[in-house]
């Protein structure tokens, strides 16, 4: 029988009417997280009691406004930034889009240029694709096998028309952590603004927007045990950010529309928990990740950890299983009660191999054999050990059914 989650854990069960009812060990926290009990408790009154519009001047509106500003301060405290810089949004995709379009579309000059990397989230890469359709030039700087960008290559990509450099803080598939402070310094030396997608860094590694030197920083709630639909963009004072939506004057004219106060409060509650517990939880998860990786290497022939020597977030492990299709392995594990991912959830079902894995030099076959394990508050050492055994059994059976390539024991 699987051991019980720690006191801070969030046990998950499959619901009746769906797949067979069973306890599920969830190892896909980079895709999304369950809502934490303390977050739900903070959010519920905003749905039932303090439901007012934060822009209204009456009692109901002013109570909602108070809760919204409290959440703003909590988020700002977690990232060590000015609360006035927090712009509440629907999530990180909107934050990334606002950062890029809000800077580039309002930038003067005919030769506007953006620098990013080949391993960014689709919210950045697709936005850059759209900017190219608007006659903006984009340089996508490649990374090496380590999954970490060389800051020198960012410097080489800069040109007189560069408006912004956008580099994610931590990669969603690999967990690799980028040298954000150094890249920000390089950008600023050239008079260029710097944005970072911090979605996978928040709550896993320390984030100090002042120390990092970022001008804009994207975050979202559903990766840190708050509900989906609540995110934010932190904007340094004086950054020339234009609107990309039009309507009211909410969020200091940077994002019109009635605020999702309940979602913002939930995000703020998650931030408050992290402000106290993040360091302890990160150490616990790092130990579990190391246990998982050493166990996989020991028990599963042909298993290899991608970017193992690079700086990584403590909860993320990307492992290639030679001769195995990650989708088939994911289904086999799901039937055993383990939820994992073949890569980024936003790219699930794509016919092409992961752009991140191919960017670090993996072959298409190796990319398709890679599984991402991302740990969280509900996971225990016992669950990790059972997952290792389940993977070993599933890989052996899949290779026996459909062998695909030589496996080195």
Is residue 50 exposed (0-12), middle (13-18) or buried (19+ Cβ within 10 Å)?
buried
Q: Do 296 and 319 form a contact (C-beta atoms < 8 A)?
A: yes
Q: Which residues contact 370 (CB under 8 A, 6 or more apart)?
A: 306, 318, 319, 320, 321, 326, 342, 343, 354, 357, 362
- Beta strands 338-339 and 316-321 are unpaired
Question: How many angstroms separate the Cα of 340 from the Cα of each of 56, 299, 370?
Answer: 44, 18, 11
Q: How many CB atoms lie within 10 A of CB 100?
A: 26
Q: Which residues contact 97 (CB under 8 A, 6 or more apart)?
A: 123, 127, 244
Q: Is 128 considered catalytic here? A: no
The SS3 call for residue 350 is: coil
Between CA 225 and CA 239 the distance in angstroms is 30
At 218, list the tokens: 């994207």
Q: Could you give the residue numbers annotated as active site?
A: 346
């Amino acid at each position: 029988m699987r051991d019980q989650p720690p006191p801070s854990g969030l046990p998950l069960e499959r619901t009746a009417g769906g797949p067979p009812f069973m306890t599920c060990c969830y190892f896909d926290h980079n895709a999304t997280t369950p809502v934490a009990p303390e977050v739900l408790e903070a959010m519920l009154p905003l749905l039932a009691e303090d439901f007012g519009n934060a822009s209204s001047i009456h009692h109901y509106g002013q109570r909602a406004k108070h809760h919204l500003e409290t959440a703003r301060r909590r988020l700002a405290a977690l990232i060590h930034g000015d609360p006035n810089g927090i712009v509440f949004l629907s999530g990180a995709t909107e934050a990334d889009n606002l950062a890029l379009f809000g800077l580039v579309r309002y930038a003067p000059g005919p030769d506007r240029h953006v620098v990013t990397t080949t391993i960014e989230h689709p919210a950045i890469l697709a936005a850059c694709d759209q900017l190219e359709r608007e006659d903006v030039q984009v340089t996508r700087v490649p990374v090496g096998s380590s999954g970490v960008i060389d800051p020198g290559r960012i410097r080489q990509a800069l040109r007189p028309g560069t408006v912004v450099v956008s580099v994610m803080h931590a990669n969603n598939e690999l967990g690799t952590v980028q040298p954000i402070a150094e890249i920000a310094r390089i950008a600023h030396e050239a008079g260029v603004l710097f944005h970072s997608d911090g979605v996978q860094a928040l709550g896993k590694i320390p984030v100090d927007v002042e120390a990092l030197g970022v001008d804009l920083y994207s975050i979202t709630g559903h990766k840190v045990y708050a509900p989906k639909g609540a995110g934010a963009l932190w904007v340094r004072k004086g950054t020339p950010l234009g609107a990309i939506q039009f309507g009211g004057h909410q969020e200091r004219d940077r994002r019109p529309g009635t605020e999702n106060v309940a979602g913002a409060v939930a995000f703020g509650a998650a931030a408050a928990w992290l402000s106290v517990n993040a360091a302890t939880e990160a150490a616990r998860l790092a130990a579990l990740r190391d246990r998982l990786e050493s166990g996989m290497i020991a028990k599963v022939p042909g298993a290899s950890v991608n970017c193992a020597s690079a700086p990584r977030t403590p909860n993320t492990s990307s492992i290639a299983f030679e001769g195995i299709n990650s989708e088939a392995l994911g289904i086999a594990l799901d039937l055993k009660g383990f939820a994992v991912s073949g890569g980024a959830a936003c790219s699930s079902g794509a016919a092409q191999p992961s752009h991140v894995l191919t960017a670090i030099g993996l072959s298409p076959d190796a990319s398709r054999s890679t599984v991402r394990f991302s740990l969280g508050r509900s996971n225990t050492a016992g669950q990790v050990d059972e997952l290792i055994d389940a993977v070993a059994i599933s890989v052996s059976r899949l290779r026996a059914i459909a062998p695909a390539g030589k496996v080195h024991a």
